[in-house]
Structure 1
């Protein structure tokens, strides 16, 4: 199967948007600011690889997604929990947080910010539950309901249902923040409800080859103009997956759909350029490590600034802290991304390979002993 470079490039654009958003940057494309689309984009991209006609066994689905997602996030929760104890000792008091097994294993399913460097990890368990739901529940419902009928009709009904669920979740979130009755125990459920629509949108986008409509410059220009009009009318298209920075329930959905379509078309163009496809494609294929480590990359910049006397450890008030943000944000984006890639390539991958080889040799020796 030929790898779709457009998807790799789009994933690269998406993860750079995540890093840019955390670096307090609008990256100069105001109608398409990172917080107007970037997390729905990743649910959409994951949905592209889902086939609702394929029935999978429950056990293997859960094991596969635990290994692909939760295993890594939990390991680095533990690693960063240990690191925060050391940093607090050396004067970075903002990172002081008691070591807790309960937080390491459970916090990622809620706020995800117990140890600060893991603040972005909430996406991982949310994606885990979305994937499991679609593979275990949705696929079975689709096959059952489409027997002897129109698959297109059933898919449309599901898409509209997920859209209504997503709008209801956003509306509930808006009201929750307006009335100052925020309950963090409910936030994971609202994220899950909002994500369902975009995951399924990605599945149908791929199933019906909708990318063919986004290959023309006229379409992209039109999408840009429409998004710009929404931005001008609303004054702000930024939203978080849990907090209300928007005015109503439909803006996050509309801005995300328009942005996903726009950047998919842009990615298709960039994928034809060898240099762009190599750079953005590489970043896209390694978007998971960037998600895991870019906040630590920000911190390393601040450590260097502390070492040369520009700032003090007490000035670093959190994982998003940037010195002279107005002028330094491109540097934080670049270094945060590069550090993440380096950690994965030169530390995580070699250790993982060595561990697998060691386990394989031990298992082989054990089997030989039994024989």
Structure 2
């Protein structure tokens, strides 16, 4: 259920350093949600972890002409699997909430309604689900842009303008009087990061191997973190809640950090850590969908240390996914045996 297009990028031959980068990103997401203090570590983690996922998503986008898809085929083969996983995962988490929190039917039906509306209406067990709807919308926007506007410079001007427009106001509630369905306005930001991933992937495959660029990007990112800690700057990038202090900062700084993470990931593939990180990277979506539910269950039994929450929030979904896959394989084998006997 949870192996979406996002995680299926290289079913024929996976690229290890991309899986490792996704692992670092999802660890940052889980830790960010578990970490109790809104200090420099917390703020600077939010500068890059969600932009990283949108940027990586752009690595494997192709125009409809290259894919030889009509628009209905694109919706059926690329969009629908993501939406299906969003709905199935959401329904599962809401049912878990129903039993764990002993909710009444009225509350649970309302929760299903909020799942359909998405965005900032989702909190608690499903608060991270906003990512998938924004990802779907950004995928559609970027695919259509690169299909119908062949000029790369014009594409950049469009996504750059959309980004500046999308970060020019406080939030949807203030601008429109209501939160946008699916966090649709955040798509204006996400589409920019995704297009950057689409455009830069062929160059990044070489650039991540450069030790000089790795050192430069890490030094620049470290300098920005120190500046934030010392109060020389005071910037936040919270995509879901649309808290953006500076549009230009939000446009360029996440790119510096994401390149650092990608370059670090490239070199991590030559270390013993690669095996563990690759496993985490292959299960990013089930971790994204379920870690907040894991947190709430643990907190009910008084396990509330952020380190424990983070560790279990990462490992338990992976174990569940592996067990689920083994059971599917067993049932498939059993059906085949019954058919052939």
Instruction: Write the mapping of 1:226-245 to structure 2, written as runs, cut at 5 A.
Output: 226-231=220-225, 232=227, 235-245=233-243
Calculate the TM-score normalised by the size of structure 2. Answer: 0.81
Q: Which residue is 1:317 aligned to?
A: none
Residue number in structure 2 paired with 1:192: 187
Tell me the distance in 1 between the aligned counterparts of 2:183 and 2:49.
18
Q: Tell me if the contact between 1:190 and 1:242 (Cα under 8 Å) persists in the aligned partners.
A: no
In structure 2, how many angstroms separate the alpha carbons of the residues matched to 1:230 and 1:246?
16
Tell me, yes or no, if the aligned pair for 1:44 and 1:202 is still in contact at 8 Å. yes
**Residue in structure 1 matching 2:284, options 283, 287, 298:** 287
Alignment check: 8 A CA contact 1:293 1:339 kept:
no
Match of 2:26, SS state, is helix
Aligned partners of 1:340, 1:27: CA distance in 2, in Å?
26
1:32 CA displacement: 8.2
Q: Structure 2 CA distance, aligned partners of 1:358 and 1:72? A: 26
Unaligned runs of 5+ in 1: 146-153, 306-321, 365-371
Contact 1:6/1:264 (<8 A) preserved: yes
Cα offset, 1:221, TM superposition: 2.6
Deviation of 1:247 (Å): 2.5
Q: Tell me if 1:40 matches 2:34.
A: no
Q: Are the structure 2 counterparts of residues 96 and 116 from structure 1 closer, same or farther at C-alpha, using a change threshold of 3 Å?
A: farther
Higher CA-based Rg: 1
Is residue 98 from structure 1 mapped to residue 92 from structure 2 by the alignment? no
Q: Give the whole-Å Cα distance in 1 for the aligned partners of 2:172 and 2:291.
A: 30
1:169 is the counterpart of 2:176:
no
> Which residue number corresponds to residue 331 of structure 1?
308
Matches within 5 A, 1:28-67: 30=41, 33-52=44-63, 54=66, 55-67=68-80
- Aligned position for 1:159: 156
CA shift, 1:357, in A, is: 8.0
Q: Are residues 1:15 and 2:26 paired?
A: yes
Structure 2 unaligned spans of 5+: 1-11
1:31 touches 1:228 (CA, 8 Å); kept in 2?
no
Deviation sequence 1:229-276 (CA, Å, 0-9, x none): 444166344321143544221222222111111111101110122x22
Please report the RMSD computed on the Cα atoms of aligned residues, expressed in angstroms: 3.4
SS across alignment from 1:250: helix
How many residues are paired up?
323
CA-CA distance at 1:176 after TM superposition: 6.2
* Partner Cα separation in structure 1 for residue 171 and residue 123 of structure 2: 29
Q: TM-score, normalised on structure 1?
A: 0.75
The alpha-carbon distance between structure 1 residues 211 and 27, as it changes in their structure 2 partners (threshold 3 A), is: farther
Shift of 1:354: 7.2
